[in-house]
């Protein structure tokens, strides 16, 4: 018996490129219809676990933008730490990343609320590594919805899933100076995966002169003088190798590494900074 024919499988970026050519406008329902129509080009979307997601996607493709945003807000809520992440949620995360990358006409309020939720609500690290790329795409297309002060606070004060989201979103903060020092601190003194994400961010947005200046000010000594490295990527790779296994070298993080708990005082201080940045003076719940 001949095997059933399946269309060529595409990776994430080729799939997005295909859909960009197929969508007639930036309407949200058009984006959803295109994802649904060409779903068989993504291997994960051919599985049984994707059926319920795409049934809901088909229903939403006939809805107005407000209802679609409401559903995407629900499906992109970061699960609580330890909460079981269903296979359907993994499919929704990938679907959402694709939709966010396509840049349909989301409202700025939707983008702002979703980005801030991911920056302020801790989730499992594995989920954040999967989900943060999509949130970064949302930030890329809605830079006016990105609170640069909040991004800086989260990078400098957390060492969990929130820092991963913040470092991805920081790629699209308009002024690098607002987050650059926090990114350099994370690249030098944090532990993976935060350190790795920070290094990629510095490679993308930083420059070798400011990185050398930061290393000198921080007293970091490399086997080779920083001036001897040919480019920024080579320098940051050497920094990562040098700092591997070392402590935070005196840099105070409000949230401890490896899941350590905040003292009540630290929790309230960090919560107060975040509330002030968001313009919300209500006590933390």
pLDDT in tens, 157-178: 999 999 999 999 999 999 999 9
> Residue 253 pLDDT > 90, yes or no?
no
DSSP state of 264: H
Average pLDDT over residues 219-227: 87
3-state secondary structure of 268: helix
- Mean residue pLDDT of the chain comes to 86
Token pair 């970091």 is found at 220
Placement of tokens 């086997």 in the chain? 223
**Mean pLDDT value of segment 110-127:** 95
Helix ranges restricted to H, 42-107: 51-60, 65-75, 87-102
**Residue 127: count of CB within 10 angstroms of its CB:** 19
Q: How many CB atoms are closer than 10 A to CB 166? A: 33
Nearest to 180 by CA among 201, 209, 154: 201
Using the predicted structure, report yes or no on whether residue 106 has a pLDDT greater than 90.
yes
For residues 218 and 20, give the distance between their C-alpha atoms in angstroms, rounded to a whole number. Answer: 46
Look at 19-23, 28-32, 82-86, 132-136 and tell me which has the smallest mean pLDDT: 82-86
Instruction: Of 124-133, 143-152, 154-163, 199-208, give the lowest mean pLDDT range.
Output: 124-133
pLDDT for residue 255 is more than 80: no
- Dihedral angle sign, alpha carbons of residues 211, 214, 268, 265: positive
pLDDT given at position 246: 60
Whole-number pLDDT of residue 266? 53
Mean pLDDT value of segment 93-119: 95
Length of the chain: 285
pLDDT exceeds 70 at position 206: yes
pLDDT (mean) for 91-110: 94
**Radius of gyration over every alpha carbon of the chain, rounded to an integer in angstroms:** 21
pLDDT exceeds 50 at position 105: yes
What lies within 8 Å, CB to CB, of 60 at 6+ separation is 29, 32, 67, 68, 71
pLDDT over threshold 60, residue 270: no
Burial class (CB in 10 A: 0-12, 13-18, 19+), 68: buried
C-alpha span between 170 and 49 (Å, rounded): 33
Whole-angstrom distance, CA of residue 164 vs CA of residue 154 = 9
Give the tens place of pLDDT for each residue, 22-58: 999 999 999 999 999 999 999 889 988 899 999 999 9
């Amino acid at each position: 018996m001949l095997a059933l024919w399946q269309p060529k499988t595409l990776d994430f970026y080729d799939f997005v490129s295909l859909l960009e050519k197929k969508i007639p406008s930036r309407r949200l329902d058009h984006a959803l219809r295109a994802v649904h129509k060409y779903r068989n080009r993504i291997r994960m979307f051919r599985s049984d676990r994707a059926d319920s997601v795409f049934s809901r996607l088909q229903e939403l493709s006939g809805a107005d933008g407000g209802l679609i945003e409401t559903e995407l807000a629900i499906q992109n809520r970061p699960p609580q730490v330890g909460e079981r992440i269903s296979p359907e949620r993994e499919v929704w995360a990938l679907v959402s990343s694709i939709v966010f990358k396509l840049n349909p006409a989301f409202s700025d309020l939707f983008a702002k609320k979703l980005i801030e939720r991911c920056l302020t609500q801790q989730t499992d690290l594995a989920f954040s590594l999967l989900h943060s790329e999509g949130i970064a795409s949302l930030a890329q297309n809605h830079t006016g919805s990105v609170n640069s002060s909040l991004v800086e606070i989260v990078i400098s004060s957390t060492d969990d899933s929130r820092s991963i989201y913040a470092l991805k979103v920081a790629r699209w903060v308009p002024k690098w100076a607002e987050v650059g020092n926090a990114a350099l601190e994370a690249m030098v003194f944090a532990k993976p995966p935060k350190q790795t994400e920070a290094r990629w961010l510095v490679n993308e947005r930083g420059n070798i002169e400011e990185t050398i200046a930061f290393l000198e000010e921080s007293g970091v000594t490399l086997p080779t003088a920083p001036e001897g490295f040919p480019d920024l990527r080579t320098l940051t790779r050497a920094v990562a190798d040098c700092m591997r296994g070392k402590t935070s070298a005196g840099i105070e993080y409000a949230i401890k590494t490896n899941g350590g708990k905040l003292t009540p005082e630290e929790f309230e201080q960090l919560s107060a900074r975040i509330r002030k940045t968001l313009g919300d003076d209500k006590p933390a719940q």
